[in-house]
Amino acid sequence: MFTVAGPVTLLEPLSGNTSLLIKINAIYASKKSKYQEILIVETEDYGPALVLDGYIQSTYKDEAYYHEALVQPAMATHPSPQDVLILGGGEGATLREVLKHGTVKRAVMVDIDGDVVELSKKYLPLMHQGAFEDPRAEVRIEDGFVYVENALRRGEKFDVVIMDLTDPYSSDIAKQLYTPDFFNKIKRILRDEGVVVTQAGNSFFFPEAYDMVLNAVRENFPIVAEYNVWIPAFGYAVNYIIGSLVHDPKSLTADEIDRRLSQRGVKTLFYTGRTHIGLMNMPVFRKINRV
């Protein structure tokens, strides 16, 4: 790979009519994989960043907000998560967050694009922090849809499934993994106390796509929780949806969350018991239609 000195400007689409300008000081790697255009860059405000098809996926300065918000509420909701499946998450930060839990015995990360994983290993060490080398981690380079179908045939079971995929409106790769049929497959590979969480794009700019994912989860899980977190490098609040068979994340107290994190040896920068309560009680952002 190579390094290109900047500065240059990344024009990142937020919607069809709004974009974010981000100053890039260097390009460390650029590769067109079988599935997408991959860039690893140095941004002025956010430090090193992974960019896929023109969309920032993670940056050093704010990735903890995204990844802790994605992983920790679902993991803390489950009383004892031991087997965890991650779909996507090529830079390894989601895997890192899962492996913080001392209860975890096996964490399977499935990403379709091996080039993203290999470039992240080389250029983004503070993202994965050695998670790929953890003996509990299994990294599979394959289609998440196919992996789940094969897991069903094998009778494989998980306690928590975490979907860290590209947005349904930004890439054709992930669209089939946001359907009611796919969430039904997820439900069938979960144990009786299972929990699934997915990032769901942005409900303000893309309400139709968000509602599609929300309804797909609601069709399959009796307990559903919605929340969102503002991510500076994205220029908007990212939405997350939890689906659960038994456990309600909204019923947990701040003290119980902190107790579970402490007992499992989890250390975080953003997520705490009080953060959890705030997330579960914050309204989801939608466009306000005034009469």
Residues forming the active site: 164
Instruction: Give Cβ neighbours of residue 34 (< 8 Å, ≥ 6 apart).
Output: 113, 115
Strands 137-141 vs 106-111: parallel, antiparallel or unpaired: parallel
24/10 Cα distance (integer angstroms): 7
Other beta carbons within 10 angstroms of residue 247's beta carbon come to 17
Other beta carbons within 10 angstroms of residue 24's beta carbon come to 19
Supply the DSSP symbol for 60. T
Supply the DSSP symbol for 80. S
Residues comprising the binding site for spermidine? 67, 91
Supply the DSSP symbol for 3. -
171/132 Cα distance (integer angstroms): 25
My answer on whether omega of the bond before 73 falls inside 30° of 0, hence cis, is no
CA 98 to chain centre: 11
**Tokens read off for 75:** 């993991």
Residues comprising the binding site? 36, 67, 91, 111, 143-144
250/233 Cα distance (integer angstroms): 28
DSSP string, 167-221: -TTT-SSSGGGGSHHHHHHHHHHEEEEEEEEEE---TTT-HHHHHHHHHHHHTT-
